[in-house]
Every structure is written in structure tokens, then in C-alpha cells.
Amino acid sequence: MSLYLDEVWVKDPDPEKIKEVIGIFTTLSTQPKSIAPTTDVRVVAGPWLSNEEAKVIIVLDIDDHTPNVHTFVRYIAAGLFERRRLTPIVSWEEAQKLAASL
């Protein structure tokens, strides 16, 4: 399992764009293949809407995130997303194993 914290910023947010983004991430959380058909994506947690910025936060399990570039760049080209930060994360159990080995 390869976990990622996925943060996606909405470009020039307005009410209609926010509604569209919420719809996209609602669909992603229930039917990932309809949004990212070229890859195996599993939603582990979220999505959540940030309370401070126009961004969506979601935790994904992605074996190979490379095919996702096509989906994401299409949203950028359409003017919907501004940027994305995809951060690899590990479980706390792995952190505890690390601490024990130090």
C-alpha cells in the first residue's frame, strides 16, 4: 500500500467552481475509476475541504501515481485546479518501528 496525502488547490474559486470541485471529489470518493480510469486509486480517508484555503485534502492509496498526471493536468488546463501537493506518507506503526531501530 502506497499512501499519499493529496492536497489540491482550487484556481480562482467562485461558488460554481467550488460546487464543481466538491462534485469531482464526491465522485472520486465513491467511484474512483470514473475520475482516474488509468490507475488503481483507493480513497483511504476524506475528502475534506480546508477551513483556511480553497483546497481539498484527501488520503489516497496509489500503487503508481504516474498515470494520474493525465487526469490532474486536464483539470489544470480547464482552469479548475491551481496546483497539487502529493505527499507520500507511512503509517504510525512504521514510525514506531523506525523509532525502535534508532
Q: Write out the chain's pLDDT in tens, 102 residues.
A: 789 999 999 999 999 999 999 999 999 888 887 777 667 788 999 999 999 999 999 999 988 878 778 888 999 999 999 999 999 999 899 999 999 999
The dotted CATH code for 3-101 is 3.30.70.1060
pLDDT at 83: 93
Q: Where are the domains of the chain?
A: 3-101
Give the separation between CA 87 and CA 59, rounded to whole angstroms.
9
pLDDT at 65: 78
**Half-sphere exposure of 45 toward its Cβ, with a 13 Å CA cutoff?**
8
